[in-house]
Amino acid sequence: MALAIFDLDNTLLAGDSDYLWGTFLTENHYVDVDTYQRQNEQFYQQYLAGSMDIFAFSAFQFAPLANTPIEVLHRWRETYLAKKIDPIILPAARQLIQFHHERGDTLLIITATNQFITEPIANKLAIPHLIATIPERVNDRYTGKVSGIPSYQEGKITRLNAWLATHHHDLTDSFFYSDSHNDLPLLNYVSHPVAVDPDPTLHRIAKQHNWRIISLRQGNQVVELNRNP
């Protein structure tokens, strides 16, 4: 079985689940609106530029988790998923996932977004394996710290290699789908890199390397934006 790896935000989703979690928190006044909104936007712009400090971002992102009882967080998350995530799950993404499922491939999401947010999204997409940045949890309470290595940029390769070792899998004939130049290390690591509605930097590099480029945002079907000869 080949491994089919998917980035999540702006790949399978028509938006960024991390950013939308911040939007959800501010809209409901669960955090200081002005401060959080400003920092959320700053980190998102840094991510787009490829200059984000993942540990600084995680400290920012995990603060509401650390300051809130777990049962309250779960209630917030259910509302967030219904209002912010369900509307941006792309029908063509479901088709792509189904294609790999029918091939008998092993399906895996690897994302820099934290596990608290992404685990239920992976379940919604029927993708059984997830590598995400892990918020540390002690005695049923989040600490605000990162547990282990964040799955961001080169960290995705480190985390993937650990996953491969424990799941007795390899990268033979592997696929990775992503929209972001932040994922270039992993795109260069797999057998079949695929750029999905790519940002300008990734689009340019994908064309230079003759990688497959597709869109999941042009209706219910996967649309090929180029084809290898």
Q: Which residues are catalytic?
A: 7, 9
Question: How far is the CA of 47 from the CAs of 7, 28, 75, in angstroms?
Answer: 14, 24, 28
Say how far apart CA 209 and CA 19 lie, in whole Å: 30
Say how far apart CA 208 and CA 9 lie, in whole Å: 24
Q: Where is 10: in which H helix or E strand?
A: none
- Contact between 17 and 121 under an 8 Å Cβ cutoff? The reply is yes
Say how far apart CA 228 and CA 88 lie, in whole Å: 29
CB within 8 Å of 104: residues ≥ 6 apart: 1
- Contact between 163 and 143 under an 8 Å Cβ cutoff? The reply is no
CB within 8 Å of 146: residues ≥ 6 apart: 55, 58, 62, 133, 134, 135, 136
Residue 130: what are its φ and ψ, rounded to 5°? -140, 130
